[in-house]
């Protein structure tokens, strides 16, 4: 009887040992499969490097310069729309007779005068371009802006030529319209997007795009989805959390004509000369006279 019990105990111990071996092999097999899946996912996902804007040194602001910091930030926002030297000089003397005449001519003169020497250039703001864009562009703009603002601590600011999105003082994304195309500028190193599905343009050489040198043009719904993926990559570095139960806002702007937008100050009408010396010539005194010459 004792020998039978010993035999049964031995069989039980052998069975348990075999089960442990089988369980260990199964766990090793599962670990190998999970590692293989992680390698596959890593190979499919492109490695995107972010521009370290959040570690960039800040400009030193004097303690007694009240309001200068805000003005500096506003100028930084509009450095894409820097006026030519002649326009800056004109602004410095905005109360002069010549400036008043130029503004009056710009409002009433046609796109080209009879001599063919002068014309008018329409300087459209970002808002004006958006208003006069196709409905499809407006829908893409509204979708991308809603996505950007769906994260905590993200705020937007619109300047003359573009709309910027920041977390704190760091600008990580901008929206602008070039021609008829909606463009997204992102704080991503452009070289890291090469050989990926994201067909971007490198604008690192432009001073106005140093903090957002990666240009991505929105031309389809698929590109809208890709733009969101790039935005996710950036916001993960900031550990930005989505806002719960946020409802989308309709940012659609109905179409308005050029004349109405000029009256609202969203389009500027400026005189341009086909020859650089033409405006100087017509403003110079006529021969033998002290009065201003006529065009």
pLDDT digits (tens, 9 = 90+) for 164-206: 999 999 999 999 999 999 999 999 999 888 888 999 999 989 9
- Cβ partners under 8 Å of residue 230, min gap 6: 48, 184, 186, 188, 198, 214, 216
Name which residue leads in pLDDT, 121 or 291: 121
Distance CA 237, CA 160 (A): 29
Other beta carbons within 10 angstroms of residue 95's beta carbon come to 7
Strand 214-218 versus strand 181-186 pairing type = antiparallel
80 with 126: CB under 8 angstroms?
Answer: no
The helix or strand, by DSSP H or E, that contains position 174, with its residue range, turns out to be: strand 170-178
Model confidence pLDDT, tens digit, residues 75-112: 445 444 444 444 444 444 444 444 544 544 444 445 55
Task: Please report the sign of the dihedral spanned by the C-alpha atoms of residue 262, residue 264, residue 182, residue 170.
Answer: positive
Is it the case that residue 137 has pLDDT exceeding 80?
Answer: yes
- Averaged pLDDT, 238-260: 95
Is it the case that residue 62 has pLDDT exceeding 50?
Answer: no
Indicate left, alpha or beta for 239 from its phi (over 0: left) and psi (-120 to 50: alpha).
Answer: left
Q: What are the percentages of helix, strand and coil residues in the chain, rounded to 5?
A: 45, 20, 35
- Cβ partners under 8 Å of residue 252, min gap 6: 135, 138, 139, 142
pLDDT at 1: 66
In this structure, what are the phi and psi dihedrals at residue 52, rounded to the nearest 5 degrees? -80, 60
- Cβ partners under 8 Å of residue 256, min gap 6: 131, 132
In three-state secondary structure terms, 187 is coil
Four-CA torsion 91, 92, 94, 97, nearest 10 degrees: -120
In this structure, what are the phi and psi dihedrals at residue 184, rounded to the nearest 5 degrees? -115, 125
234 with 172: CB under 8 angstroms?
Answer: yes
Model confidence pLDDT, tens digit, residues 104-132: 444 444 555 555 667 788 999 999 999 99
DSSP state of 294: P
Global confidence as pTM: 0.60
Share of the chain above pLDDT 90, in %: 46
Rounded mean pLDDT of the chain?
74
Is it the case that residue 287 has pLDDT exceeding 80?
Answer: no
pLDDT at 53: 47
């Amino acid at each position: 009887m004792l020998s039978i019990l010993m035999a049964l105990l031995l069989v039980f111990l052998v069975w348990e040992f075999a089960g442990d071996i089988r369980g260990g092999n199964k766990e090793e097999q599962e670990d190998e499969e999970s590692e293989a899946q992680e390698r596959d996912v890593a190979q499919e996902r492109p490695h995107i490097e972010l521009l370290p804007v959040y570690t960039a040194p800040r400009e030193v602001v004097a303690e007694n310069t009240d309001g200068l910091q805000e003005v500096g930030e506003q100028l930084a926002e509009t450095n894409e729309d820097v006026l030519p030297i002649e326009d800056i000089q004109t602004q410095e003397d905005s109360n002069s007779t010549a400036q008043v005449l130029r503004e009056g001519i710009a409002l009433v003169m046609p796109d080209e005068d009879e001599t063919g020497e002068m014309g008018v250039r329409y300087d459209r703001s970002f808002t004006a371009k958006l208003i006069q864009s196709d409905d499809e562009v407006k829908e893409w703009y509204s979708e991308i802006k809603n996505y950007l603002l769906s994260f905590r601590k993200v705020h937007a600011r619109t300047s003359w030529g573009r709309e910027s999105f920041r977390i704190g003082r760091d600008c990580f994304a901008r929206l602008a319209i070039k021609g008829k195309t909606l463009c997204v500028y992102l704080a991503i190193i452009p070289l890291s997007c090469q050989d990926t599905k994201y067909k971007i343009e490198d604008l690192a050489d432009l001073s106005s795009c140093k903090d957002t040198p990666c240009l991505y043009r929105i031309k389809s719904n698929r590109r809208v989805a890709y733009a969101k993926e790039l935005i996710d990559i950036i916001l993960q570095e900031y550990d930005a959390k989505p806002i719960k139960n946020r409802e989308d806002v309709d940012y659609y702007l109905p179409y308005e004509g050029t004349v109405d937008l000029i009256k609202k100050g969203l389009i500027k009408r400026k005189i341009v000369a086909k020859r650089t010396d033409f405006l100087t010539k017509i403003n110079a005194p006529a021969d033998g006279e002290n009065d201003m010459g006529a065009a």
